Every structure is written in structure tokens, then in C-alpha cells.
Amino acid sequence: FAMKKIMIFLAVIITPFVIAKNLEEETIIIPNESIRIRVIANSNSLSDQIEKTNIKNILQSYLDTKLKNSKSIEETDYIIKQNLNEIRTQIEKTLKENNSLNGVNIHYGKNFFPQKEYKGIIYESGMYDSLVITIGEGKGNNWWCVLFPPLCLIDLENTDDKEYKSWTIEAINKIF
């Protein structure tokens, strides 16, 4: 009988913590109407990963300027299509400046993305409208983000999970 009392006591004490933890871990799913970006490195060598990061930084800065006032997926799509040649020029310039021997393949259209979870947010797998930049053989790790809704604009390095989730919910709610 004493063991039964201890078990009931523990259940009463632990249950609120379990419920609170589950509420805290609410899952957010990015809407299907999105445009993603991915930069795939030639390999996982240090120099190829640095090259990928350099291209990512150039693209992120360039696209932030072009897309910061975009209010719809159609507008974002139009802006990307209108700037594909300039995007190619920016990437090739960066490769040349770094004396890279790698070529680049740029594809804007439907591309497969595996499911990802980042800071409590699920990015479902599937075919997505996306800008994919493949450097060289494209066998290295990649960087990816969501251009619309504009989730690439947040400084991901300096936010915790709750800040990121809060910012993401706010960004999605503004658009949808």
C-alpha cells in the first residue's frame, strides 16, 4: 500500500512537467508554398566548404537586397527569375576571385529536399520551388534556407530555439 502511495505521489508531481514539456515542443511546419535555396559544396574539404560559405554569403546578401520587400511567392519567384544571370555572375566572380577550378550549376525550379528539422521547426521533404547552386561535383555538405517566406533573413547564429520559433511564426503569420 505504501508503494502505491509513492507511485501516485510521483505521478502527481511528474505529470505537470511532462505536459508543460510537450506544450513547449509545439511543432511548426513551414507552408508548402515556399521557395528554398541550397548551395551544395564540391566536397567536404576545408577549401570547398569555405568556397560554399563564401558563395552563400554573397547570395544571402544579394538576395536579401532584392527580396526584402517581396510580399508574395509570385513576386519572389519573379524577382529570382529576373536576376538569374546576375546571380550566376556573382557566383562565377566569387569562384574566380578565389582561384577555384570548380564550375557551377544553377537550377531554379522544382528540386527535391529531404525532411529537415531545425530548432524545433519541421521542413518537410518534397519537391520545392528552389534555387539550387551546385559547385563542382556537388558531393559536399550543403547550406539551405527558405527565401519565401523570408526565413533566411534572421541571424540564426545568435538566436535560441524559442527566439527562432517565435520569429518564424511571426514571419509566416504576416504572409499567410
Chain-wide mean pLDDT for the chain? Answer: 78
* 170 alpha-carbon distance from chain centroid: 16
Is residue 98 over pLDDT 70?
A: yes
> What is the structure's pLDDT at 124?
80
Is residue 169 over pLDDT 90?
A: no
Q: Determine the length of the chain.
A: 176
Contact assessment for residue 147 and residue 131, using Cβ atoms and an 8 Å cutoff = yes
Q: Which of 12-21, 35-44, 123-132, 134-143 has the lowest mean pLDDT?
A: 12-21
Residue 8 pLDDT class (50, 70, 90 cuts): low
Report how far residue 27's alpha carbon sits from residue 3's, in angstroms, rounded to the nearest whole number: 37
Q: Which residue has the higher pLDDT, 87 or 34?
A: 87
80 Cβ contact partners less than 8 Å away, ≥ 6 residues apart = 35, 63, 67, 87, 108, 131, 147
Residue 78 pLDDT class (50, 70, 90 cuts): very high
Answer positive or negative: Cα dihedral of 41, 42, 48, 54: negative
Q: Which of 34-43, 74-83, 113-122, 124-133 has the lowest mean pLDDT?
A: 113-122
